[in-house]
Amino acid sequence: MPSSSSSPLAARVVERVRRENLIARYGGEEFVAVLTATDLRGGMQFAERLRRRIGDADFEFEGEKIRVTISLGLACTRGESDVTPDALIARADEKLYAAKRAGRNRSIG
């Protein structure tokens, strides 16, 4: 995991991820977090802490203060031994879009 970042938003995200976990940019404005040894409840707690931390942070763009919010979709293996990374990402992606449809700035798992 990177120890520093050029993006203030990415820095706030990275500082909340334990060393044994992974967070990576997945698409334009989407990120994937792999939380080892974490069930869905623990993942939701992580997501909500992160969502609040980003929402409470001060960000600036071209000298103007802006409010930044994030929506999160979570998926876990639920004890499955044969689940693929693609299947987990698809599950999380479905939850992410559900969060956006529900009004954004929320976590759904």
Q: pLDDT tens digits, residue range 78-101?
A: 777 888 888 888 988 899 999 999
Contact 60, 54 (CB under 8 A): no
Q: Which is nearest to 21 in space by CA: 38, 41, 39?
A: 38
Q: pLDDT tens digits, residue range 15-56?
A: 777 777 777 777 767 778 888 778 889 989 988 988 998 899
Residue 70 has pLDDT above 50, yes or no: yes
Amino acid 4: pLDDT: 46
Residues known to be catalytic: 29
Domains of the chain: 8-108 (3.30.70.270)
* Burial class, 53, CB count within 10 angstroms (exposed 0-12 / middle 13-18 / buried 19+): middle
